[in-house]
Chain A
Amino acid sequence: MTLEEKVYLMSGNQDFQELCDDCTLPGRHYNHLPYPAGGCQRLGVEDLRFCDGPRGVVCGTGKSTCFPVTMLRGATFDTALEREIGRAMAREVKASGGNLFAGVCINLPYHPGWGRSQETYGEESFHLGEMGSALMEGVQDEQVIACVKHFAFNQMEISRFQVDIDCDIRTEREVFLPHFKKCVDRGAACVMASYNCYQGDHCGENAYLLRRILKQEWGFDGFVISDFGWGISDTAKAANGGMDVEMPSTVLFGEHLLQAVRNGSVPESAIDEAALRVVRTLLTFAQDRPPARESVLGCKEHIRLALQAAREGITLLKNRDGVLPLNRRKIKKLVVLGALAEEQVIGDHGSSQVFPPYVVTPLQGIANAAPGVDVIYYSGENIGHAKDLARQADAVIFVVGYRCTDEGEFVSEDMSDLDGEYPGGDRTESLGLHPKDVRMIQEVGPLNPQSTVFLIGGNMILMEDWKDSVSAILMAYYPGMEGGTAMGEILFGDVNPSGKLPYVVPVRAEDLPPIQWRTTHQHYEYYHGYARLEKQGIAPSLPYGFGLSYTTFAYRNPVFRREGDSVVAECDLTNTGTRDGAEVSQLYVGFSHSAVDRPVKLLRGFTRTFLKAGETRHLEIRCPVEELQWFNPETRQMELEHMEYELYIGASSADRDLLWGSCVL
């Protein structure tokens, strides 16, 4: 391979004007066709053909399956289902003409206000790693290259192009990197670097992150691609820093990179290494790649998976006096309030937007689930009318929360001129509902004894100022193209909800770590999320891992022990209610005996079990001892503290939901 050929492998072939046209011309959209990069015709090396995600394949219009957003799938705690979804997405990537899928987003929302939280699985590193690697493995099962993104420290949207993140070494290694490492350990073949800076350097040209940690320490053997357009800023720095492929167009690589090699500012060995990584990966994945016909796009089986995820992920947060499920035979008139009920609540309109053949809205889904019921929708604009309707109805459903103008991908404030919509970005103002929705719930909710709120959103929504005004609350996230169907089924009890919160719901926003959304610098503290609240002794509104069911579960006879290189928690789990249902059981490990500052406890295992009413099963959750390590700044490595660890097993992170014991390691 000539130097020119090798350099050609290292950047995107997407014409920039073409890319702009995609985003502005009617009938097209961002990534409506895969974006090509590299390739070598002479030697028969295929090009990379990039398809974005992560709630399905972005390419095409009216074809691909729109799955629930990643956050909802995080709430399923179902790694087997996530792997199946990965396979389905990969088949659709191939059917769209792609071979590289950027659907594995595992950034940790340091603060739930992050506008793109919906694209990731939740606040907990262990859970992120397990769910993300399950998707990655599913994608790669189909011989499609999975791209894990955005490496790293990318959890602020508005300032993503400018912000420089710093944190101490323990925060870096224990909180923000382990989930990336897990995906790399399990075989991820591609990593996308993020836009932001880490400790002064753009992540796309950050030798510490890309060369030292990712490639040397973790032994990553795949290739690194840049985030789009603004991912790198300096040819030599990027190439030397470990960037293998500039995306999606050739701007700073190509001729500039050749020049840099010729004038000695980039050693040819760096080019050789990048070329080797790209070609090696392509050859591996081109082998025996099962083909996929176009007919797999939005096929029955894939849509069934999307529905299954919505059924498992939607989370029941409150159910006063068992008001849910609604009884079809007793409900004659059902009122649905809130404009989101009528909308396609599938999530952001940024790079993750999928264009499915259809979307079942919440309203349609609820009406479908209750063919004999008079289902009346009203936007809620006029409170007086909403009240009249609520008084006359047998039950009231509020569908409230966010749309892409409230949270989502953000390029600049000027973007609002392009499509007339204000760009989402981070939730800088409030983590609660819109004031008019709060007022509607407060005034209308108490008028009907069977009142339920469905929340639509990508991450935690504060509930304190209205939660007592209604009987039941469900978090529906952005539940995908069949989300309305799942909402209807859950409302009427055809499906028993089993999702669990992949984040903590605090009482007040002040309980979360301080953050400046519009900034050029942000420090990340060691504690965030439930670990932060527990450490500070602050009771949450709802704990991490919380979610109700229409049945009840009892945990009994716990046993905790060490077995080889694992800690094991066992117990009997009984469905003590009258309905069949699934339960997500969680293993936490506590560090109260630590000699250093460590969290009270951390999630270190989970499993999902389906139990018929009255059925009992024996549960066993294992966790490798390695997962209990901390990063010792003095020795600069992960180490196991030899001490007594508390082990907990139960239904959520709250003490009242856990059985516990201990284990000496």
Chain B
Amino acid sequence: MESYVYEAIEHGERCPVNVFITSIEISRFHWHYDYELMLVLKGSVAVNTLPAPFVLKAGQIYLFNSTQVHELRKTEEDNICLFIQITSALFRGKSEGNRRFQFYLNSQSESNMPAIGYRPFIRQAAAIGLLSTSTNPNPNPYRLQSKLYGLLADLFEFGVYDIHQSAAGRDLQQDATTLLNIIDYIRENSQEETVLEQLYKHFGMSEKTVYRFLKDNIGLSARELLLECRLEKAKYLLQFTDKPISFVVDVSGVGGENTFYRVFKKSTGLTPLEYRKRGGPTSGRSEIKGYLQYSTSEAVMLLKKLCAEDNNDEMHQRTASCQHPAGQTDCESDDLGRKSLSDVGQPGLSGTL
């Protein structure tokens, strides 16, 4: 599930966040404990996740929740995206090991609009992106943290979120370890026909318990998860090896040749042979390589633009926020936002333009 093509920005231990800019070709179904904020800077990206797939366009923002299973695909147009991965530990107090926050931040959707609109989130995400680009060689980790916490503050104060509350004593961190162990076990043994039966025995959990546990945590049943793992393996072999298809069918553990073809086609829209000929799900691999060389300045420009667009919106934001009962705080967050605008003009950054 290490399928991101990304440009990692290391911030060391002083910031619990990982920020990178990339062009998405495909990032197959995966999940992680980090919350992940995605801001499309250019073009559009197809997002496949529950409850329904959608396309996120330039200037739009989406927050993937911790353990939310999702897949990203390139659309017809080229894209550049900003990702901000935030450790889930930031969302829990010490005594809150038994609760999980689920946010609904999706500027592509009409419902669940934050009380202050999406603009402040986009602006703050863009500011974080700017602070983290490689054109900013010595990012100030405290500035970055202040932006991050500003964004989290708005998320908690104005965003729509649920809390999934478990019984006292249940520790979701413990659950997380169990979940990782289960997934590793399935991946490592996916070619075995009776992998699930072995799994139940290995973990001392009943089929029903494992089913509920996985459904609760990643929304997939053990059987669905197993199929995903098997298809992953098959795709890898098809794409990067010359092994005969009959071998791939055998090793994948998906079943007989007919079943394999049917399931594979349903999942990818392609037959195994077509998949191999294309060299993967799409044909655009070389362009991505090129992107890394030319796009940084374009990304910075786009990020600046997203921050700057604010000037036009400011009046609108103010009127909207005054209608909110907690108007006082809204104005503070506007202030924060304006500060972030001036931050953009740091010498280190403007030099790259």
User: Does A385 touch B at the CB level, under 8 Å?
Assistant: yes
Give Cα A507 to B162, complex, Å.
Answer: 35
Give Cα A336 to B166, complex, Å.
Answer: 13
Partner of B164, one of A374, A384, A388: A374
- If A371-B170, A384-B112 touch, does A363 touch B160 (CB 8 Å cutoff)? no
What residues of chain A lie closer than 8 Å to B170, measured between beta carbons? 371
Q: Are A378 and B162 interface neighbours, CB within 8 A?
A: yes
Give Cα A342 to B93, complex, Å.
Answer: 14
Nearest chain B CB to A232's CB is how many angstroms away? 41
Nearest chain A CB to B96's CB is how many angstroms away? 10
User: Does B104 touch A at the CB level, under 8 Å?
Assistant: yes
Q: Are B162 and A382 interface neighbours, CB within 8 A?
A: no
User: Does A364 touch B at the CB level, under 8 Å?
Assistant: yes
Q: Are B167 and A385 interface neighbours, CB within 8 A?
A: no
Give Cα A374 to B212, complex, Å.
Answer: 10
Give Cα A650 to B251, complex, Å.
Answer: 76
Interface string of B80-112 (1 = CB under 8 A from A): 000000000000000000100010100000011
- If A364-B168, A371-B167 touch, does A381 touch B162 (CB 8 Å cutoff)? no
Give Cα A370 to B164, complex, Å.
Answer: 13
Give Cα A363 to B212, complex, Å.
Answer: 21
Interface string of B214-232 (1 = CB under 8 A from A): 0010000000000000000
Give Cα A429 to B255, complex, Å.
Answer: 70
What residues of chain B lie closer than 8 Å to A363, measured between beta carbons? 163, 165
- If A368-B167, A368-B168, A371-B167 touch, does A389 touch B162 (CB 8 Å cutoff)? yes
Q: How many residues of A contact B (CB 8 A)?
A: 22
What residues of chain A lie closer than 8 Å to B172, measured between beta carbons? none
What residues of chain B lie closer than 8 Å to A314, measured between beta carbons? none
Q: Are A342 and B216 interface neighbours, CB within 8 A?
A: no
Interface string of A342-366 (1 = CB under 8 A from B): 1000000000000000001001101
Q: Are A377 and B166 interface neighbours, CB within 8 A?
A: no
Give Cα A244 to B88, complex, Å.
Answer: 60
User: Does B152 touch A at the CB level, under 8 Å?
Assistant: no
Q: Are A382 and B163 interface neighbours, CB within 8 A?
A: no
Nearest chain A CB to B63's CB is how many angstroms away? 14
User: Does B115 touch A at the CB level, under 8 Å?
Assistant: yes
Partner of A385, one of B98, B112, B163, B216: B112
Q: Are B167 and A376 interface neighbours, CB within 8 A?
A: no
User: Does A375 touch B at the CB level, under 8 Å?
Assistant: yes
Q: Are B167 and A367 interface neighbours, CB within 8 A?
A: yes
Q: Are A374 and B162 interface neighbours, CB within 8 A?
A: no
Nearest chain B CB to A398's CB is how many angstroms away? 15
Give Cα A368 to B102, complex, Å.
Answer: 20
**Which B residues from 137 to 173 make CB contacts under 8 A with A?**
160-168, 170
**Which B residues from 307 to 343 make CB contacts under 8 A with A?**
none
What residues of chain B lie closer than 8 Å to A374, measured between beta carbons? 164, 216
Partner of B163, one of A370, A376, A381, A388: A376
Give Cα A389 to B161, complex, Å.
Answer: 11
What residues of chain B lie closer than 8 Å to A378, measured between beta carbons? 160-163
Give Cα A381 to B114, complex, Å.
Answer: 10
What residues of chain B lie closer than 8 Å to A382, measured between beta carbons? 112-113, 115, 160
- If A364-B165, A375-B164 touch, does A381 touch B115 (CB 8 Å cutoff)? yes
Nearest chain B CB to A487's CB is how many angstroms away? 13
What residues of chain B lie closer than 8 Å to A372, measured between beta carbons? 212
Give Cα A342 to B111, complex, Å.
Answer: 24
What residues of chain B lie closer than 8 Å to A342, measured between beta carbons? 163
Nearest chain B CB to A213's CB is how many angstroms away? 49
Interface string of B157-197 (1 = CB under 8 A from A): 00011111111101000000000000000000000000000
Q: Are B162 and A367 interface neighbours, CB within 8 A?
A: no
Give Cα A368 to B212, complex, Å.
Answer: 18
- If A363-B163, A377-B163 touch, does A385 touch B168 (CB 8 Å cutoff)? no
Give Cα A382 to B117, complex, Å.
Answer: 12
Q: Which of B113, B166, B216 has the most CB of A within 10 A?
A: B166
Give Cα A376 to B65, complex, Å.
Answer: 15
Give Cα A385 to B109, complex, Å.
Answer: 12
What residues of chain B lie closer than 8 Å to A376, measured between beta carbons? 102, 162-165
- Chain B residue nearest to A365 (CB atoms) is B168
Give Cα A375 to B163, complex, Å.
Answer: 8
- Chain A residue nearest to B215 (CB atoms) is A374
Q: Are B164 and A381 interface neighbours, CB within 8 A?
A: no
Nearest chain B CB to A220's CB is how many angstroms away? 47
What residues of chain B lie closer than 8 Å to A388, measured between beta carbons? 111
Give Cα A622 to B347, complex, Å.
Answer: 88
- Chain B residue nearest to A384 (CB atoms) is B111
Nearest chain A CB to B207's CB is how many angstroms away? 15
Nearest chain A CB to B115's CB is how many angstroms away? 7
Nearest chain B CB to A360's CB is how many angstroms away? 8
Nearest chain B CB to A303's CB is how many angstroms away? 14
- If A364-B168, A367-B167, A368-B168 touch, does A377 touch B111 (CB 8 Å cutoff)? no
- If A371-B170, A374-B216 touch, does A385 touch B104 (CB 8 Å cutoff)? yes
Nearest chain A CB to B293's CB is how many angstroms away? 43
What residues of chain A lie closer than 8 Å to B216, measured between beta carbons? 374
Give Cα A487 to B176, complex, Å.
Answer: 29
Nearest chain A CB to B263's CB is how many angstroms away? 29
**Which A residues from 296 to 337 make CB contacts under 8 A with B?**
336
- Chain B residue nearest to A372 (CB atoms) is B212
Nearest chain A CB to B338's CB is how many angstroms away? 25
Nearest chain B CB to A177's CB is how many angstroms away? 44
- If A368-B168, A385-B111 touch, does A377 touch B162 (CB 8 Å cutoff)? yes
Give Cα A370 to B166, complex, Å.
Answer: 9
Give Cα A375 to B166, complex, Å.
Answer: 7
Q: Are B111 and A367 interface neighbours, CB within 8 A?
A: no
Nearest chain B CB to A368's CB is how many angstroms away? 5
What residues of chain A lie closer than 8 Å to B212, measured between beta carbons? 372
What residues of chain B lie closer than 8 Å to A336, measured between beta carbons? 165
Give Cα A78 to B98, complex, Å.
Answer: 36
Q: Which of B160, B165, B168 has the most CB of A within 10 A?
A: B165
Nearest chain B CB to A363's CB is how many angstroms away? 5
Kindly list 6 other residue pairs between chains A and B, CB separation below 8 angstroms, not including A342-B163, A366-B165, A382-B113.
A360-B168, A364-B168, A377-B165, A381-B115, A384-B111, A385-B160
Can you sample 29 A-B contacts with CB below 8 Å? A336-B165, A363-B163, A363-B165, A364-B168, A367-B98, A367-B167, A367-B168, A368-B168, A371-B166, A371-B167, A371-B170, A375-B164, A375-B165, A375-B166, A376-B102, A376-B162, A376-B163, A376-B164, A376-B165, A377-B163, A377-B165, A378-B161, A378-B162, A378-B163, A381-B160, A382-B112, A382-B160, A385-B160, A389-B162
Which A residues contact B (CB, under 8 angstroms)? 336, 342, 360, 363-364, 366-368, 370-372, 374-378, 381-382, 384-385, 388-389
Instruction: Across the A-B interface, give the 10 residue pairs with the lowest CB-CB distance, nearest first.
Output: A377-B163, A367-B165, A371-B167, A368-B167, A378-B162, A375-B165, A376-B162, A385-B160, A382-B160, A385-B112
